[in-house]
């Protein structure tokens, strides 16, 4: 059974940094691409960053230059380094995996993902 477990969410002040992690189990990590998504209260879920199967990364414009996605295949771990955090980054952050394609459009739109974690909460205070 595929499982994705996120960690690292916390409450920090604007301008601070956080590093989120997602540990995957139950499938061959190397056959899937992965990404980070978020959902703020009262808003639709949006894509944040993704790493496609060929290693290509993509980011929403809202986080480009501030967030960095990376993966450690040996540890089946996906990470999201978030710097210069802003109050509008407050959201539940989700890790997701897909067997086909992982791409985040500049608007934050994204293609369907097969598997989702339960999320980790990030709260940024001004």
Please give the pLDDT value at position 75.
74
Provide block-wise average pLDDT over 10 residues at a time, the chain (126 residues).
Answer: 93 98 81 93 96 94 98 88 98 95 95 95 97
Any idea what DSSP says for residue 10? Answer: -
Please give the pLDDT value at position 26.
83
For residues 105 and 49, the answer to whether their CB atoms sit within 8 Å is no
Please give the pLDDT value at position 32.
86
Rama region for 48: left / alpha / beta (φ>0; ψ in -120 to 50; rest): alpha
**83 in helix, strand or coil?**
coil
- Token pair for residue 30? 């190397």
Please give the pLDDT value at position 109.
95
Question: Taking the C-alpha atoms of 124, 91, 105 and 98 in order, what is their torsion angle to the nearest 10 degrees?
Answer: 130
């Amino acid at each position: 059974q595929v499982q994705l477990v996120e960690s690292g969410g916390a409450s920090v002040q604007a301008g601070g940094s956080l590093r989120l992690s997602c540990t995957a189990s139950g499938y061959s990590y190397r056959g899937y691409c992965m990404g980070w998504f978020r959902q703020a209260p009262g808003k639709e879920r949006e894509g944040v960053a993704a790493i496609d199967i060929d290693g290509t990364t993509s980011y929403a414009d809202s986080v480009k230059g501030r967030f960095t996605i990376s993966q450690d295949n040996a540890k089946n771990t996906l990470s999201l380094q978030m710097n210069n955090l802003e109050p509008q980054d407050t959201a539940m952050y989700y890790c997701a995996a897909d067997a086909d394609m992982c791409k985040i459009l500049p608007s934050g739109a994204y293609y369907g993902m097969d598997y989702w974690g339960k999320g980790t909460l990030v709260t940024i205070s001004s």
